[in-house]
Structure 1
């Protein structure tokens, strides 16, 4: 008999061992009574030896608690070995046993209204939680015996994973159905035919649909003419993408005045119509594609094939010099296959030819990728070229030196950017005195308070005029008596190239002359003239103390901060930063 060996359950082994021990105890105990021993010996000789096929792991059954279910004896799944009708004619009898969880010995099943046998099936109508266990079906007559076990698991409804609340719980994995677009098909509830005579004219089926696009559950009858109920089945007249998803069918039937049911599920997928071309094709490599390879390294040649939907086999493979990889003696060649895309039945498959330790002679080999299905065949040769090796040591040293130089330049610029900018201005900057008709280089606007005025007159004015050579305008010093303050202020600001605003806590308030000077400078900048405003912070000012004009100017203008004794020297950062904002002057003492 050509029957595949099945796995043997440990519980069955324990049960067989216990039966053997009991038999030995009876035989040993019977030595004191000759008649009893002889009877046992006769009985053991008359009992046929049973062929134990172990546990059928492929025929494990799951049933939902409270639903109808059945076990079919796996001995009859191979009709060439056992056929129920022929075995009955040959005098074989079918017996059912069960080994419940936590027990050591199998027990014969006592049939009842709920637990019954019909031909090769054991019915549970309905299934209960304590039915879970190992079930053994034994077929025997006077001369032969065979038995096999299968496992039953009764699940509670809360143990079943459900996508939506309206889905019925199903203990059995969904079956798969494909329907081509624009074509039809009739959907039957799985296992309905196996239910046999339990299904009659009073049987009804409730259908549900959960589309893939959402979690909304639809219940038949569906509001469309393209998908309708036909008796107990669901008929698709024309398949659309929205019809994809999980379909649930719950079978209701009557037995001895009791309504019983069981539920199944079907995963329906749409595929491209059968009238479309079904020839396979190679997407990559194209006719002009060239793979770049490098000596003594791993090379990977990628081939991608498209297989239109067919209910048949398909294949993608590489050949080297006309031989498949299995027939090559060189173990450097291997391949990796994977699915890249699945689109309504059309699958895009990728096969990667991996060449370990690529050698120069491999460039002269013929590498072909081929695809095939029952409709056709295509093959394409891969073109290779060797990568030109660059001198790695020299290239690495060059890159290293370049990176070091760039880092040094970045550090130098970050630290000495002011000096570099002043040096550039001294060489290439344009003296604004030759390009405009301004009278003053700098007009200084400040608060008329003692400390701030002392800083302006003794420090700012002195360095700008005496050390840096700028012409400075200070209203209190340069204005003539008897003039109008507003007119003269606006005139001085308009005749200056820079407006230097000294900011301090006492700087400006509404209506002050300093505020007038600031407004005039900002207006001059806004009109696109040659006046620029420079902000010098003499003392820190809290943000809420700034007037509106200063806040607006601070957003667009740079702020040069005076830092007391640290800023006294002409080489300090304050004076360098200020000279960047002032007009270009070439000083005989250098830019240091």
Structure 2
């Protein structure tokens, strides 16, 4: 019983002995005794199963060492039972009969019925004073009892916990058996069952008389055991059922010293100033039939002795297995200050076998500017994404800009005569494209020196030698690929082979493919199919590529030598270029007839080249 009940009983004893305690309620007439009403007992309602024997004990005699039934009777006190039936407000006397009887301070119901539910009041009085307290009775039907399995018998009273160590034995005694023996007219009979299995119990369990003996405790023997007590009274057979919850625990020969699992010996807690800090301590307590304790101390003082309210603790059970318990206590420090860093924090555990303590080591946490780092990382990622998008969309413009600033003019590093040599199929549609568009833009707009065999070769020369010479003296070989390139151009094939061989031998010549019209791969000549993986292909897209700012010209400028568009030329350079173009034009006009006759004999040229 709680301290409140103990103090109440002590006050009642003082009232009975000396009569000096003030009355709680007083009758209007001076001759009537003062009566103390303690209300309803705090122990909760008493539950009895319908059809079984049950009883009520008066809570006034909960502390027999202070006050018991025998002493009250010797002092001349009278003892009475009253009841307030369920659904009523007035007290009624109890009609005693063969079914309802009183034995000392107990009221027996043999058996209990549903109408017995209600509030029962026990009163102790003499001529000068009285005291009474109420207890509630609940009679349950069998179908109202919660059971783990349907085969288990219904029990209205909570199970009695019992612990038996592994590999050891013990006895089970049915609860309240001694009370039944007092009321029985003869012998009592006890029947045991476990997990829906009734007698006879086998293996390491055996019933001896009214007791159940477990010779060797094993894991399957845990759980609820049910005992049914049967006895005779006034010619009637009565019974009640009780349950015992048996748990297996670790054997006593194991080490039973408590230990601290957390914090470890070298563990350090990181703390921050002006923040709430939680120090966690976990202790392991092996099973013992004794008390145990886990607590924190700050500078050698328990928390109840500290004058600072910033320190508090919370306890909870983490695990319970076979009697061994793992407990956790958390020391909470509100608004952690700099001086708290120099305090001594110890966690301690103790039971009847031993004691252990461990100090919590603290260090101030170095705060990282998480917000600044997060913002900086976000900005960096956004900038990287923007740069990626810009480069993906404007990579040609960026590359051209870089070349214009840091690129090296190849005219200062080699002795080549021409920047570009253009190879194409003669007498085809792409010839007009080469002469009127490609050559014009390269020479007039971009400032490149262009070599075209039909224009720049001298009359009377050998085509093979002239072609090889032009290719060797050029920095780039522009091959205009079209459907007619593979079938019409023996001259073009010679130029292509010469360019590929020069590129393969490690020369300074680079071959660039310009696709004038789409060509299926199977329509390409053998030399192009072999070298395509190592060559750059720039596609002409008709009207979309005519502007100098189109992707075609930007892509082509990336592959050609470095030249700055729009740069001013000196007067002498401009004149020399004009004279060179005029001379080239005259040479082209004088050679037109010879070149035309030469191109018409492709087989002869191939034999000569071979």
| CA spacing shift, 1:49–1:588, aligned 2, 3 Å | closer
Task: Give how far 1:132 is off.
Answer: 0.7
Corresponding position of 1:218? 197
Corresponding position of 1:93? 78
Whether 1:346 aligns to 2:329 is no
- After alignment, is 150-159 or 132-141 more displaced? 132-141
Corresponding position of 2:193? 208
Q: Which string of whole-angstrom CA distances, capped at 9 and with x for unpartnered residues, describes residues 544-563 of structure 1?
A: xxxxxxxxxxxxxxxxxxxx
Corresponding position of 1:472? 520
Q: Which string of whole-angstrom CA distances, capped at 9 and with x for unpartnered residues, describes residues 496-545 of structure 1?
A: 789xxxxxxxxxxxxxxxxxxxxxxxxxxxxxxx9xxxxxxxxxxxxxxx
What is the aligned counterpart of 1:52 among 23, 26, 37? 37
Whether 1:250 aligns to 2:253 is no
What is the aligned counterpart of 1:395 among 373, 379, 385? 373
- Looking at structure 2, the residues matched to 170 and 570 of structure 1 have their Cα atoms a distance apart, in angstroms, of 96
What is the aligned counterpart of 1:107 among 77, 89, 92? 92
| CA spacing shift, 1:320–1:143, aligned 2, 3 Å | closer
- Looking at structure 1, the residues matched to 69 and 288 of structure 2 have their Cα atoms a distance apart, in angstroms, of 36
What is the aligned counterpart of 1:76 among 61, 74, 77? 61
| CA spacing shift, 1:103–1:408, aligned 2, 3 Å | same
- Looking at structure 1, the residues matched to 246 and 485 of structure 2 have their Cα atoms a distance apart, in angstroms, of 89
| CA spacing shift, 1:470–1:348, aligned 2, 3 Å | same
Residue aligned with 2:339, SS? helix
Kept after mapping to 2: 8 A contact 1:334/1:354? yes
Residue aligned with 1:113, SS? coil
Corresponding position of 1:155? 140
Kept after mapping to 1: 8 A contact 2:180/2:231? no
Larger radius of gyration: 2
Residue aligned with 1:300, SS? strand
Matches within 5 A, 1:280-299: 280-299=258-277
Task: Give how far 1:358 is off.
Answer: 2.1
Corresponding position of 2:443? none
Aligned residues: 421
Corresponding position of 2:414? none
Task: Give how far 1:82 is off.
Answer: 3.8
- After alignment, is 179-188 or 385-394 more displaced? 385-394
Residue aligned with 1:268, SS? strand
Corresponding position of 2:333? 355
Corresponding position of 2:161? 176
Q: CA RMSD for the aligned pairs?
A: 4.1
- After alignment, is 143-152 or 102-111 more displaced? 143-152
Task: Give how far 1:410 is off.
Answer: 7.1
Task: Give how far 1:473 is off.
Answer: 5.8
Kept after mapping to 2: 8 A contact 1:57/1:151? no
Residue aligned with 1:276, SS? coil
| CA spacing shift, 1:295–1:147, aligned 2, 3 Å | closer
Matches within 5 A, 1:125-524: 125-199=110-184, 202-210=187-195, 217-224=196-203, 226-392=204-370, 394-408=372-386, 467=515, 472=520
Q: Which string of whole-angstrom CA distances, capped at 9 and with x for unpartnered residues, describes residues 316-361 of structure 1?
A: 1112221222222222222222222212111111122222222222
Kept after mapping to 1: 8 A contact 2:168/2:217? yes
Task: Give how far 1:589 is off.
Answer: 7.4
Task: Give how far 1:462 is off.
Answer: 9.6
- Looking at structure 2, the residues matched to 206 and 567 of structure 1 have their Cα atoms a distance apart, in angstroms, of 106
- Looking at structure 1, the residues matched to 125 and 542 of structure 2 have their Cα atoms a distance apart, in angstroms, of 112
Corresponding position of 2:7? 4
| CA spacing shift, 1:473–1:95, aligned 2, 3 Å | closer
TM-score by length of 2: 0.61
Kept after mapping to 2: 8 A contact 1:272/1:344? yes
| CA spacing shift, 1:45–1:387, aligned 2, 3 Å | closer
Task: Give how far 1:152 is off.
Answer: 0.7
Q: Which string of whole-angstrom CA distances, capped at 9 and with x for unpartnered residues, describes residues 180-206 of structure 1?
A: 112221111111112242346542222
Residue aligned with 2:179, SS? coil
- Looking at structure 2, the residues matched to 67 and 335 of structure 1 have their Cα atoms a distance apart, in angstroms, of 47
